[in-house]
Chain A
Amino acid sequence: MEMVKTEYFSNAEGGRLYRPDLAETVSLRAENLACARGVRVIFSDLGFALGAGEVLHVTGANGAGKTSLLRMICGLLAPAAGHVAISGVHDGRDIAPHCHYLGHADALKPTLTPRETIDYDTALFAPAMAANTDDLLTYAGLRRQADQRVATLSAGQKRRLTLTRLVGIPRPIWLMDEPYTALDNAGRKLVDTLVRAHADAGGLAIIAAHEEVGVANRQLVLGA
């Protein structure tokens, strides 16, 4: 039997390597952020500043508010107090279009194919861009699964498909919630490679994860 060598996000099939083309670089500042669930205060008085090219690793016990923090930054959750600003933009609703949010839920539709998923993502998020769907499928190692339904993909393959959104649509802020979940070693390495390339291009990333994050150059421990 022939061994199939998988090279995710490589240029094995003639695709170009990920070279983020950020139209803008931003810095991000969070001041006095507080998060409350009902009457329970999860965290309060949280502040940090991130410059272009910085990668922040957010860690902390379960329920320490890692997901809430990520959602607050892109305006998906209103902070109980404090505010988030990126260079010049102060309103949460206006920060959202500068962010990618990779959450627990993968936002994939089981009845679409990976090819359709990427096509629609590009058309929705960056209507002016030409979709380089084939390249992205190759990068994600989903060339052979391109036209079968997403429902038939494995958890790791779905995760890699969600990563194509980050790669295909340039946005300066990446918010990643447990991005390593369900990924094999190659997939984990792929996340690190993508984040490093993104940071080198002047983007910034905030990664919530329990494990060590090699690419991070800053760390924030919630609930400490």
Chain B
Amino acid sequence: MKTAATLRSLFMRELRLVWRGGHLMPVLAFVFICVTLMPFGIGPELALLQRLAPGLIWVIMLMAVLLSLDRLFQADFEDGSLDQLFLLPVALEWAVIAKIAAHFAGIILPVLITLPVAGLLLNIHPESVLPVMATMLTGAPALVMLGGIGAALAVAVRRAALLTVLIVTPLYVPVIVFGAGALSTALSVPGTLDVTALGVLALISTATVFLAPPAIAAALRAGLR
């Protein structure tokens, strides 16, 4: 009961910080630049664009997530807020969940909504926009949770951003494989969903939502000096 109240306050505070800090616009700008420049680089062949679209969309999504997670714990570590998170009357694992949930609501959700719409530039059929959104929404929690482990490790091992990317990237592979698989179905036959691939994505996301917070909390504890 008290825990829920604390977590709700933490969620609202983080959401406000994301909003006030202007952390959303750079990520959205990145997505738009990627999507608009891609056709210029690949060429005007519509069939080719359509075939590449699933992979492109997932890679853009992944990079947007990594870009946004960069400051997730680093800013708190630098200004001492991380110390205060440890002193809260709730377990650090819960605080981590509240923080990431706010990050998801404040930054990732807007990206999830704009990316498929922007994908119209990649010759996505308008009827496919909603299935694409559903697919991305199913896989995105896994990207954020796994990326959160990387962000927490970056706090622990300072100036090791490259190292954490190397650690996290292999973990992203299953999400990309099944995510792109689900997207190709959604894109080749407008208005359909690949239920099997979606199921696997949902499974990965659910597993990371339960398993990542303890790992993130442990990484943050190790990062304290």
A77-B224, A123-B5, A127-B5 known; A111+B89 contact, CB < 8 A = no
Show the binding face of A for B, using Cβ within 8 Å. Answer: 71, 74-77, 96-97, 99-101, 103-109, 111-112, 116, 120, 123-128
25 interchain pairs (CB within 8 A)? Answer: A71-B224, A71-B225, A74-B87, A76-B83, A76-B86, A77-B224, A77-B225, A96-B86, A96-B87, A97-B89, A101-B84, A105-B78, A106-B79, A106-B80, A108-B79, A109-B17, A111-B20, A112-B16, A124-B6, A125-B87, A125-B88, A125-B89, A127-B2, A127-B9, A128-B2
Q: Top 3 closest A-B pairs, CB basis? A: A105-B80, A123-B9, A111-B20
The verdict on B44 contacting chain A, using a C-beta distance below 8 Å, is no
A109 to B5, CA, bound (A): 21
Shortest Cβ distance from B91 into A: residue: A93
B21 within 8 A of A: yes
Q: By the criterion CB–CB under 8 Å, are B80 and A97 in contact?
A: no
Interface pair B20/A107, CB less than 8 Å apart: no
Return A75 CB to nearest CB of chain B, in Å: 7
**A-side contacts of B2, CB under 8 Å:** 127-128
Tell me whether B87 and A100 are in contact (CB under 8 A): yes
Most chain-B Cβ atoms within 10 A of its Cβ — which of A106, A108, A111? Answer: A111
Contact B9 A75 (CB under 8 A): no
Interface string of B1-43 (1 = CB under 8 A from A): 0100110011011001100110000000000000000000000
A126 to B21, CA, bound (A): 26
Judge whether B81 and A120 touch: CB under 8 Å.
Answer: no
Please, how many angstroms separate the alpha-carbon atoms of A217 and B80 in the complex?
29
User: Which residues of B (66-101) have their CB < 8 Å from a CB of A?
Assistant: 78-81, 83-84, 86-89
User: A97 to B88, Cβ gap below 8 A?
Assistant: yes
Partner of B9, one of A107, A109, A120: A120
Residue in B closest to A127 when the chains form the complex, CB atoms: B5
Pick from A77, A97, A116, A128: contact of B87, CB under 8 Å: A97
Query: Which residues in B have their C-beta under 8 angstroms from that of A97?
Result: 87-89
- Chain A residues with CB under 8 A of B12: 120
The chain A residue with its CB closest to the CB of B75 is A109
The docked-state distance in angstroms from the alpha carbon of A61 to that of B13 is 38
Distance of A85 Cα from B126 Cα, bound (Å): 64
Which residues of A have CB within 8 Å of B5? 123, 127-128
Query: How far, in whole Å, are A111 and B20 apart by their CA atoms in the complex?
Result: 6
Task: Indicate if the CB atoms of A103 and B80 lie closer than 8 Å.
Answer: yes
